[in-house]
Homo-oligomer: A and B are copies of this chain.
Amino acid sequence: MEKQWRRSMPLLSMNIVMQLTGLTARQIRYYEEQELIEPARTEGKQRMFSLDDIDVLLEIKDLLKTGVNIAGIKQIFEMKNSSAASKAVKRVITDTELRAIVKEEMQLAHRQQRASLRQGDLSRFYR
C-alpha cells in the first residue's frame, strides 16, 4: 500500500503498449473511446499509458475472448470499482443485466474450447 503510484505513472507509448498487450492501435483507441481506459496525454496529445492501463487492457482482451462484450466489460469494471472502493457492493447492475452477461459468457465459453491464456504478446514480460 505504498509504491502503488508507480504502476499508475504514464510511462509507455502506443507502440510499446501494442507489443505488451498484443492489441492493435485501433483496438486500444476504441477501448478508450468506449471509456474502458483513459490514458494520459502528452502536451502534443499523444497517449501515454501506465502499467495499470496495461492490466486493464489485458483484462479487456481476455474478457472479449471469452465472449463478454464491451457493455458487459463496462459493467464488470464498475462492479470492481465500487467494491474495490469497499462501498458495500452497490447494485449498479440489475439482476437481469447480470444474468444476461453471465449467460452470454457461458455460451461463448462453451463454444470456444476456453482457450484462454494469451500468447504471442509480451504480457509475460512484465509483472
Q: Which residues of A contact B (CB under 8 A)?
A: 5-6, 9, 11-13, 15-16, 20, 42, 48, 125-127
Contact = CB atoms under 8 A, between A and B. Distances in A.
A46 to B, nearest CB: 9
Number of copies: 2
A9 B12 CA distance: 12
Nearest to A15: B42
Main secondary structure of the interface of A (DSSP, over half): mixed
Given A6-B125, A13-B13, 8 more contacts: A5-B125, A6-B127, A9-B126, A11-B11, A11-B16, A11-B20, A13-B16, A16-B48
B126 A6 contact: yes
A20 B6 CA distance: 12
6 contacts: A6-B127, A11-B12, A11-B20, A12-B12, A13-B13, A13-B16
A42 B16 CA distance: 10
A124 to B, nearest CB: 10
